[in-house]
Amino acid sequence: GISFATVGEAILIPILDDFKVVNTKLGQMIIGIGTFDDVIEIIILIVGVLFLGIKSSAMNTGGVLFSIVGLIFGLLLATLFIKFRKEGEKFKFSKVETLFLFSLAVLFLFIGLGEYSGSSALGALLAGISLKTFLPKTRVKNIEDEVRSVCYGFFAPIFFLSVGLALDIKYLIGSFSLVVLVFFVSAISKLFASYIFTSKKIGRRDSILMGIGLSARFSTSIVIIKILLENNLIKEGLYSVIVASSIIFTLIIPIVFSALIARWKNKKWKLKD
CB 136 within 8 A of CB 90: no
Q: Are 38 and 220 in contact (CB under 8 A)?
A: yes
Work out the angle at residue 88's Cα, subtended by the Cα atoms of residues 83 and 89, and round it to the nearest 5 degrees.
Answer: 125
Q: How many CB atoms lie within 10 A of CB 269?
A: 19
**36 is a domain residue:** yes
Residue 145 within a domain: yes
| Res 3: pLDDT | 42
237 lies in which domain range? 9-264
Phi/psi-derived region of residue 61, left when phi > 0, alpha when psi is between -120 and 50, beta in every other case: beta
**pLDDT value at residue 4:** 42
CA distance 220 to 9: 11
pLDDT of residue 220: 65
Q: Does residue 236 lie in a domain region?
A: yes
Q: Name 13's Cβ contacts closer than 8 Å, sequence gap at least 6.
A: 22, 31
The pLDDT value recorded for residue 5 is 43
pLDDT of residue 154: 72
Q: Is 3 inside a domain boundary?
A: no
The residue length of the chain stands at: 273
Number of structural domains (the chain) is 1
DSSP 45-107: HHHHHHHHHHHHHTTSTTHHHHHHHHHHHHHHHHHHHHHTGGGGGGGTTS-HHHHHHHHHHHH
Angstrom distance (rounded) from CA 232 to CA 165? 16
Instruction: Give a yes or no: residue 4 inside a domain.
Output: no
What number of other Cβ atoms are within 10 A of residue 38's Cβ? 20
Say what the alpha-carbon torsion angle 24, 30, 33, 38 is, to the nearest 10 degrees: -130
pLDDT at 23: 77
- Whether residue 272 is contained in a domain is answered as no
Q: Residue 151: inside a domain, yes or no?
A: yes
Average pLDDT along the chain, 273 residues, taken 10 residues at a time: 46 71 78 73 66 55 61 78 71 68 83 70 73 73 70 72 83 88 88 88 85 72 75 83 85 85 65 42
Residue 94 CA to its chain's centroid (Å): 31
Residue 273 lies in a domain: no
Residue 26's alpha-carbon distances to 37, 178, 214, 216, 260, in angstroms, are: 16, 33, 12, 15, 13
At residue 119, the 3 state secondary structure works out as coil
